[in-house]
Amino acid sequence: MMYNPYMQYSYQNIVIPSYVRILHASPDAPPVDVYASGKLIAKNLKYKQFTEYLPLIPGKYSILVYPAGTTTTPVINTSLDVMPNSDYTVAATGLLKNIKPLVIPDTASAMMPGMSQLKFVHLSPNAPMVDVTLPDGTILFRNVEFKEITPNLIIPPANYTIQLRLAGTDKVALNAPNQLVKLNRYYTIYAVGLAGDTPPLQILTALDKSSY
């Protein structure tokens, strides 16, 4: 899935890698190939798939995303600024007709002993603003709209049921049990898919680079 161009950043003989992974979150887009400044970094990446984190030299990269197996008409043509000692997820978002990249910072913040951290990213292009809650109504994240990235939330490790509710209401749009949060880990929950359509609305819970 991932080609590693063995690129690293060196400062005074100390190797300081930065890391980037790609998420295909466009529900009607075909599998894609991703190029960073001419190098193939993801091949045949399908909807809902992540690449591994790729080490990159900090700097500016041209990012081209093509339907898999082609190199003529990119569906995304953008640039990415990679800062030293940082982690990112770059998500392909929206429907194919208006697909856009979203850069999501995954760099760690300080961890409290005995706890974990969680953030939420709304990537469902037709879903309204949502609250992310627990079944008892506890709100983890409030009023999150499409392409919004929440701050990190410090939570105790546990096996959670995560709900997406229409913002400001008790109406549950999605119920996702068995979301295991382990001790001293950093996670991101992504809402993907289409509300009331196919592929359906669902969440992806991903372990971030700082947990490795």
pLDDT tens-digit map of 157-181: 999 999 999 999 999 999 999 999 9
Euclidean distance between CA atoms 147 and 31, whole angstroms: 21
Count the neighbouring beta carbons within 10 Å of the beta carbon of residue 94: 21
In the chain, domain spans: 1-106, 108-212
- The reply to whether CATH 2.60.40 applies to domain 108-212 is yes
Residues 131-149 pLDDT 10s: 999 999 999 999 999 999 9
211: pLDDT confidence band, cut at 50, 70 and 90?
confident
Q: Which of 149, 154, 114, 157 is nearest to 25 (CA)?
A: 149
Q: Which CATH number fits domain 1-106: 3.40.50, 2.60.40, 2.60.120, 1.10.8?
A: 2.60.40
Query: Between 130 and 85, whose confidence is greater?
Result: 130
Q: How many residues does the chain have?
A: 212
Q: How far apart are CA 208 and CA 139, in angstroms?
A: 22
- Identify the pLDDT of residue 14: 64
**CATH topology agreement for domains 1-106 and 108-212:** yes
What's the whole-model pTM score? Answer: 0.91
* 19-38 residue pLDDT tens: 999 999 999 999 999 999 99
